[in-house]
Chains A and B, each alone.
Chain A
Amino acid sequence: MSPRVTLITGASKGLGYRLAEHYLAQGNQVIGVSRGAGAIQHERYAHFEADVADEARVLELFKVIRSTWGSLDHLINNAGIASMNHAVLTPMSAVKRILATNVEGLFLFSREAAKLMRARGGRIVNLTSVAVPLKLEGEAIYAASKAAVITLTEVLARELAPLRITVNALGPGPIATDLIRGVPEKKLNEILARQAVKRMTEPKDVMHAVDFFLSADSEMITGQTLFLGGV
């Protein structure tokens, strides 16, 4: 049996990198996407440099996936950017950049993945954030983009259910990656204090939940958002 094909956006570092390693260890064929070069050397790993919101480039990527592997089993929409700033001090260039990556890119990948998955079903997992339920100050556009991810998850779940594709969202708390590098420690501690489990999210916490969504037995699990840490 050929290995399951797992596509992960934002795979060159941080959580995406860890997810790629995790699914390689499970025997999957992993395709990573990021704006820069990939950091994994593995016989079952292929890296593709692309801005996730660049439609022409993304269509090329899916063409390569179709011609090389024939189908796609999993899409993990992990690529995401943030820009911590007071709303009044947020430039429109940052607004556009965040929405392009976090919302447009996620939609584009989901749309194209659904085309490849329609023959035998599939799993889409979208990364959202506790910034949505916590209504984090200083993260207006980031939180709004992640709220859009939740709504997209819910609507896509309904539209793609006839194709046996499930769509779910996972909202971790803060993880020690580049995404939160600019967040002051005091602010991080305030976020953790609002979680039921008052610690940073570890990559293994995320993988456990993603494993659940990707499981072949999870065909009745769709349109759901799971927040970690008891938010």
Chain B
Amino acid sequence: MPKNMRKPAAEMARSMKELVVQVVSELNPSLADPVQIDLGVEAALYGRNGVLDSIALVSLVVALEQLIDEEYGVTVALADERAVSQSSSPFRTVGTLAAYAESRVQEAKRS
């Protein structure tokens, strides 16, 4: 398909936020204190106010990496130097994780 042609709506890849919501929803049943996914992008994941411990975060990140690969055909490692930072970690909320993952996908596509 030429670059300037858009895919029909039915084939459009899902948004990164939808992917994050899917992996969080799949993770939730295994959590004693589930992520409040109905809060949308504001739902807290990790760090201050977050409900995930470091092992749950590992599961979430790995599941998201795999889903990104399946959905977009791009291999990314979502490791980040600020992962455990309380204030600027990209893993704070559904919204920050989606934005960060999106930026990593764009980066991978450019390289």
Smallest CB gap from B58: residue in A = A118
Q: Is A55 an interface residue (CB 8 A)?
A: yes
Given A162-B55, A163-B55, answer yes or no on A115-B79 (Cβ-Cβ < 8 Å). Answer: no
Q: Is A60 an interface residue (CB 8 A)?
A: yes
Chain A residues contacting B54 (CB-CB under 8 Å) are 159
Secondary structure call for the B interface: helix
Are B75 and A60 closer than 8 Å at their CB atoms?
yes
- A46-74: CB near B (< 8 Å → 1, else 0) gives 00000000011001100100100000000
Smallest CB gap from B111: residue in A = A56
Q: Is B86 an interface residue (CB 8 A)?
A: no
Given A118-B59, A162-B55, answer yes or no on A111-B65 (Cβ-Cβ < 8 Å). Answer: no
Are A115 and B55 closer than 8 Å at their CB atoms?
no
A63 to B55, CA, bound (A): 22
Are A118 and B66 closer than 8 Å at their CB atoms?
no
Are A63 and B77 closer than 8 Å at their CB atoms?
no
Q: Is B37 an interface residue (CB 8 A)?
A: no
A114 to B65, CA, bound (A): 14
A56 to B69, CA, bound (A): 14
The number of residues on chain A lying at the interface, defined by a beta carbon within 8 Å of a beta carbon of chain B, is: 14
Chain B residues contacting A63 (CB-CB under 8 Å) are 69, 75
Q: Is B83 an interface residue (CB 8 A)?
A: no
Are A59 and B79 closer than 8 Å at their CB atoms?
no
The number of residues on chain B lying at the interface, defined by a beta carbon within 8 Å of a beta carbon of chain A, is: 13
Are A115 and B62 closer than 8 Å at their CB atoms?
yes
The smallest C-beta distance from A65 to any residue of chain B, in angstroms, reads: 12
Chain B residues contacting A163 (CB-CB under 8 Å) are 55, 58
A162 to B54, CA, bound (A): 10
Given A63-B69, A66-B66, A115-B65, answer yes or no on A55-B58 (Cβ-Cβ < 8 Å). Answer: no
Within 8 A of A (CB), among B56-96: 58-59, 62, 65-66, 69, 75-77, 79
The smallest C-beta distance from B26 to any residue of chain A, in angstroms, reads: 13
Chain A interface residues toward B at CB < 8 A: 55-56, 59-60, 63, 66, 111-112, 114-115, 118, 159, 162-163
Chain B interface residues toward A at CB < 8 A: 54-55, 58-59, 62, 65-66, 69, 75-77, 79, 111
7 more A-B residue pairs beyond the given contacts A66-B66, A118-B58, with a C-beta to C-beta distance below 8 A: A56-B111, A60-B75, A111-B79, A114-B58, A115-B65, A159-B54, A162-B55
Could you list 24 examples of A-B contacts with CB < 8 Å?
Answer: A55-B77, A56-B75, A56-B111, A59-B75, A59-B76, A59-B77, A60-B75, A63-B69, A63-B75, A66-B66, A111-B77, A111-B79, A112-B77, A114-B58, A115-B58, A115-B62, A115-B65, A118-B58, A118-B59, A118-B62, A159-B54, A162-B55, A163-B55, A163-B58
